Chain A
Amino acid sequence: MHESPVLRTVARIAVPLTLLLSLRIFEQGHDMPGGGFIAGVIAAAAGAIPLLAFGMGGAARFPWWRLSVLGLLCSIASGTVPLLAGSTFMDHVILDFDLPLLGNVHLPSATFFDLGVYLIVLGTLMTLFVEMGLEERRWNS
């Protein structure tokens, strides 16, 4: 399966496109279909393509589990900030502010929570893919 030139060619185009799609889905999540979970799954699908096309090389060496731990920290931190500010845990607010170039930014603080979900889904799924794949290689050899 790893030797298919067709798969490799498709992979070179498909991976960046899928990643872009994943970011777009994440970004629009609060108002339109999307969100951290779905976007994370799409990103993991993008990550699975090189594993299938190029084998357990570069992407398999990345410590994906750290990404999911980072995501969990991010989600918990987004809930803790309001706690430290005197409100309750997970009491999200909507941030509206103006930035140069970007104009008005409408950013619910729940987005950071969603970012954590994104990283966790991506990290955990990639861990699964990579570990299962490595296991298969060991059995074959």
Chain B
Amino acid sequence: MAIGSAKKERIDSLAESSADDSGVSLAASAWKRLRRSPVFLFGSFIIVAFVIVAIIAPWIAPHDPSARDLADQVIKARNEIPKPQPGYPLGGDLQGRDFLSRLLVGAQQTLLVGVFATVIGLIGGLALGTLAGAFGGWVDSLVMRIVDVMLSIPQLLLAFGIGALFAKPNLFTVILAVSIVQIPVFARLLRGSMLAQRESDHVLAATSLGVKHGSIVFRHMLPNSLGPVIVQSTLVLATSIIDAAALSFLGLGNPDDRIPEWGQMLGGAQTVIDTHPQLAFWPAGCIIAIALGFTLVGESLRDALDPKNRR
């Protein structure tokens, strides 16, 4: 059915690239093209920069992000928050904590949310995909039917729905909600990749040589699926971070803000955005930048791996 089929087509065509049989190593020619692609270089630069910041944040952050040093400057009645001052270049937030430190340390949590959500989605998708592929028959049909229906529901709505299932949301529920939405994507991707490869020459050769099925799957087919999986993972990383922010916006996010996270900061700033726009703009800018970085890398990777682009 064509419901959601454009999205499915994109996943499927990505999956097919893993079955490319031509002589020159796909990775080698892809890398050659990537090295010259300004999109890829720019995106990678952004990602690397953010990862570095995330790693060294606790050391470079001037203050403890959960310490309410400037609490006395917060005047609720007049809706005032601490202004930029010596030692606190970006001022304070609604609770009197150093805003810059929260931004810097927030990189950690935000990236963690993205990575965890992606990994869980990937593992879940892998499990489902191999389940369907391994058993075949009605198991395969049933699993893929469910996957297709899930794919046809708009991702964000699905995330909202899952987020709403929890009476007391916390970091874990956010990651869960965002990652479950990605499971059908990876499931379809991996199954498509396996299917495409089953017909390919090297698998047929291995089978006819008597190599065991399990060995074929793990040593031949999965490594070839790596390309599409990496592409999808980078794109999923970007969307998970944004989806998590949307969840916070609706009040389905993690209410505990001692450990800062950009999406949470953005969601929390919505009530005061007209009076203190910077509380929203800075986290938003960071989210946009990192999402852009991952998207640029993912899209350039997708182009590089596209067999049609090969010479």
> Is the A/B pair a real complex?
no
Chain B residues within 8 Å of A, Cβ to Cβ: none
Chain A residues within 8 Å of B, Cβ to Cβ: none
